Structure 1
Amino acid sequence: MGEEYDQYSSWFRERRRIPLSIFFKDVRHVFKLDKLGLEIARIAFPAALALTADPIASLVDTAFVGQIGSVELAAVGVSIALFNQVSRIAIFPLVSVTTSFVAEEDTVGSVCPEAQEYEYLEMGSTKDSESKELLPRNDGESASMSGSPDHSFDTAKCEHERRHIPSASSALVIGGILGLIQAVFLIFGAKPLLNFMGVSSDSPMLKPAQQYLTLRSLGAPAVLLSLAMQGVFRGFKDTKTPLYATVAGDVTNIILDPIFMFVFRLGVSGAAIAHVISQYLISVILLRRLMEQVNLLPPSIKHLQFSRFLKNGFLLLMRVIAVTFCVTLSASLAARQGPTSMAAFQVCLQVWLATSLLADGLAVAGQAILASAFAKNDHNKVTATASRVLQLGLVLGLVLAVFLGVGLQFGARLFTNDINVLNLISIGIPFVAATQPLNALAFVFDGVNFGASDFAYSAFSMVLVAIVSIVCLLILSSSYGFIGLWVALTIYMSLRTFAGLYR
């Protein structure tokens, strides 16, 4: 992270005098399908589709379970929430770190394996972004190490099909271990965890919830492995392969659901089994494809760079906990205001969060392209990419603001017919719509920071934002109720956006 971080900081210090200029750089080309525009679109669109494929499959899953009964539907809902919450703590840091590291190493890997092996021997695995110095300069001259002749690293592409990407191997090992830990944790702790979630021992939800959670936990290793591999492919700027694998798995899940649930009469257990099978299918597809492109056996264990992964992963773990706590606290405060307030808040919150998946596609594109550009010391592309994805993010946020501001007024009835809940939703709609530009920019700024491997700033700034936001949530919700919650969440997203802009 060292040299890359220094380059990133110095690059922005030069522009701090006119920090808003990045939004207007070549703004007339924001929709232009030039080389950069096509590269962003090629990464962002499949990434956004892949991110939305799983929620759609989960909605279909929920529809099938709902045919069994309301108790089973509620039980599965609690189990899914618990599983996703535990998974998120490991998934986000692992995927984000993997994408940046793989993008850097893939750029360095444009030289032949002999050069990479020389790098391993001379520089050691403790070097991070310094390895980018092996790359040719923008003027076509090859950068060389001290005391090494320039011709040591020819820029000719390797004839070998497989690449040497140590971070890919590291991601798989760490993902597999975390998946096993998660599976053991959820299987043996299912009952107390469900009790903690509010499913008491005498609740009719406990048995189906425990069955579903226990069986679905068997797929945790596949979930972590598949997402680790998605991080690898994102680092390669390939978001189509994860999309195809995800769609294949989700379609399999949708087909198997009614077979296991109704034909074999397995109920909620059948839904869990179908989901587990689909996750392992996704992992097999991704692993097979990855093995065709990457040599997953590094020269030695030291090249796996576990310390680098763990250090930066821990920083992002802090960030995930801060984000999760803010959102969870807001839901908890809404629940304390009563079922009507909670129902309205839940509808608004889910719409508010779901639209972020579209901005995440741009964030993934920005992260992958920026990590590669920083590795090449190509600061012109860094500037152009950061400007373009931020401009596209702002446009996306404005479009979503208009769409939700108008559409949610009518679409709210799809969620409930309760007049009191609908009245509260109408109060929340202006906040949901108005914060869309802030949300989009905040997520794209995250992609910019991750692309520069600036994980430390992302983590510590988010912790500070969370502290201020938590204070605002507690004060405003107690004073102004439902409106106070959304004012506090607007402050929360404003602070996240400002933190990204300031950097």
Structure 2
Amino acid sequence: MRRIAVLSVSALLVLVAPPLYLLLDLAVVGRLGGHELAALGVGTLVLATISTQLTFLSYGTTARSARLFGAGDRVGAVREGVQATWVALGVGVVLIILAYPLAPVAMGALVGSGEDGAAEVVDEATRWLRIAMFGVPLILASMAGNGWMRGVQETRRPVLFVLCGLSFGAVGVVGLVHGLGWFPRLGLTGSAVANVVGQSITGALFVGRLVGESRRGDTPLPLRPDWSIIAAQLLMARDLILRSLSFQVCFVSATAVAARFGIAAVAAHQVAVQVWDFLSLLLDSVAIAAQALVGAALGAGATGVAVTVARRVTVVAVAIAVAVAVVFAVGAGMIPGVFTHDAEVRDAMAVPWWFLVGMLPIAAVVFALDGVLLGAGDVVFLRKATMFSALCGFLPLIWLSLVFGWGLAGIWSGLVALMVLRLVLVVGRVLGGRWQRVGADAVT
């Protein structure tokens, strides 16, 4: 239980630090005006989407590194980190090259052209994104660094690296946006520059740690690309990206349908989704602990330990979810008021709020066992299970909700159906035992 707690807390701190930095960035830029705030919003949306789709750099690397670490091959575990970092830097460079010509197109599609000032928002967002994209290679390198360091169960340094980079970024955004002290006043551009500086510092610390780790022992670990390992990592990446895309399709569809039911409905839905996103970070931290511990156990051939970890992380996740659900149930009449003073929106929030409360214990089991199966490298199954749940559970209910006017109740019924189907599938998989493949090379 202690290792689960240590790994979970470390992962949670790393997961929540970027959203907290974004809140500061929004607060600082918001004082410039509505156009700048809107531009920052759509720019950060693009960066967040990129990060979401490339989580294989952390999750996939954790699974592969943990296997090798558990088998006693720390050098091999670090080698996975080296190759994942090459993938991160390569993908990051490609994204920078694509950003310059495609940024105006992407911003135009997100902002539209029907509102007054839309052209100005597009121009500001394009300029912000073109600068911020220069930090992407090291953002992705940080994800790879988190992956291999979780795999070898190193918990302290990742937190320090992330907090160090974001601290410099926070000072930069406060100073550069408004020109405080000896900083020049750059406006929205200052936000992008601070973002690049902060993310680059974090990424450089992870890369530096990787280089230092590679020089341990009598025989230094080569830092050149190993195409066989990279190919295996990209194969796992395919399944993780498709799994992630399935989630994106579900939540984008939910927002699109909610918008058809009026402003109050879409506002209430978005608040509930934001609360869900925060709670998912809490549950995801437990899942990350499961990835590292299960991967290490199976790498060592200790299937009994892996099963014990699966059981314990599930208990921990459910306990957390039930505690949060109780708080949210008791505070159902008060907590929504923290997000809005609009009576109509608060009334509309009552529907998704109770769905969210009821869904939390189910989600806890799903997140915990997802982490177990990710740690086991069972990503092909996870991809198929997620896509099946989306196609057969969520999407039919979401579109029926639109056709028959079921409103937010129909939308959130679809989200519950998605979660219940995933619950049935992952529980069946874990109980069936087919994920218990031992050895350092058993990752699919």
Q: Distance in 2 between matches of 1:188 and 1:406?
A: 51
Aligned match of 2:222: 298
TM-score w.r.t. the length of structure 2 is 0.90
Shift in Å, 1:107: 2.8
Aligned match of 2:45: 81
TM-score w.r.t. the length of structure 1 is 0.79
Letter in 1 for 2:401: L
Aligned match of 1:197: 110
Residue 253 of structure 2, aligned match among 325, 329, 341: 329
Aligned match of 1:45: 9
Q: Distance in 2 between matches of 1:387 and 1:414?
A: 36
Label 1:414 to 1:302 Cα distance change in 2 as closer, same or farther (>3 A): closer
Letter in 2 for 1:217: M
Q: Distance in 2 between matches of 1:442 and 1:187?
A: 39
Aligned match of 1:428: 352
What runs of 5+ residues in structure 1 fail to find an aligned partner?
Answer: 1-36, 112-161
Residue 366 of structure 2, aligned match among 433, 442, 463: 442
Label 1:285 to 1:477 Cα distance change in 2 as closer, same or farther (>3 A): same
Q: Do residues 247 (structure 1) and 173 (structure 2) align?
A: no
Aligned match of 2:425: 499
The more displaced of 291-300 and 428-437 is 291-300
Label 1:266 to 1:303 Cα distance change in 2 as closer, same or farther (>3 A): closer
Shift in Å, 1:110: 4.5
Aligned match of 2:320: 396
How far does the alpha carbon of each residue in 1:196-238 deviate from its partner, in whole angstroms, 9 at most, with x for none?
2133395331121112111111111111111111111111112
Q: Percent of aligned positions with the same letter in both sequences? A: 26
How far does the alpha carbon of each residue in 1:132-187 deviate from its partner, in whole angstroms, 9 at most, with x for none?
xxxxxxxxxxxxxxxxxxxxxxxxxxxxxx77732111101101111112222223
Aligned match of 1:224: 140
Aligned match of 1:261: 177
Shift in Å, 1:251: 1.5
The more displaced of 318-327 and 295-304 is 295-304
How far does the alpha carbon of each residue in 1:22-42 deviate from its partner, in whole angstroms, 9 at most, with x for none?
xxxxxxxxxxxxxxx111112
Letter in 2 for 1:168: G
Q: Distance in 1 between matches of 2:323 and 2:73?
A: 39
The more displaced of 70-79 and 399-408 is 399-408
Letter in 2 for 1:74: A
Shift in Å, 1:299: 8.7
How far does the alpha carbon of each residue in 1:335-392 deviate from its partner, in whole angstroms, 9 at most, with x for none?
2222221111100110012101111111111111111111111112111111000111
SS in 1 for 2:251: helix
Q: Distance in 1 between matches of 2:390 and 2:310?
A: 25
Q: Distance in 2 between matches of 1:163 and 1:315?
A: 23
The more displaced of 173-182 and 406-415 is 406-415
Aligned match of 2:439: none
Letter in 2 for 1:174: V
Residue 94 of structure 2, aligned match among 178, 181, 184: 181
How far does the alpha carbon of each residue in 1:420-452 deviate from its partner, in whole angstroms, 9 at most, with x for none?
111101222111111111222211111111111
Conserved? CA contact 1:476–1:487, under 8 Å: no
Letter in 2 for 1:103: A
Map of 1:277-316 to 2, 5 A cutoff? 277-295=197-215, 297-298=221-222, 302=226, 305-316=229-240
SS in 2 for 1:486: helix
Map of 1:100-139 to 2, 5 A cutoff? 100-110=63-73
How far does the alpha carbon of each residue in 1:391-426 deviate from its partner, in whole angstroms, 9 at most, with x for none?
111111111111222335312222221111111012
Q: Distance in 1 between matches of 2:18 and 2:165?
A: 9
Q: Distance in 1 between matches of 2:208 and 2:265?
A: 48
What runs of 5+ residues in structure 2 fail to find an aligned partner?
Answer: 430-444
Q: Do residues 482 (structure 1) and 404 (structure 2) align?
A: no
Q: How many residues align?
A: 416
Aligned match of 1:115: none
Q: Distance in 2 between matches of 1:173 and 1:291?
A: 13
Shift in Å, 1:332: 1.1
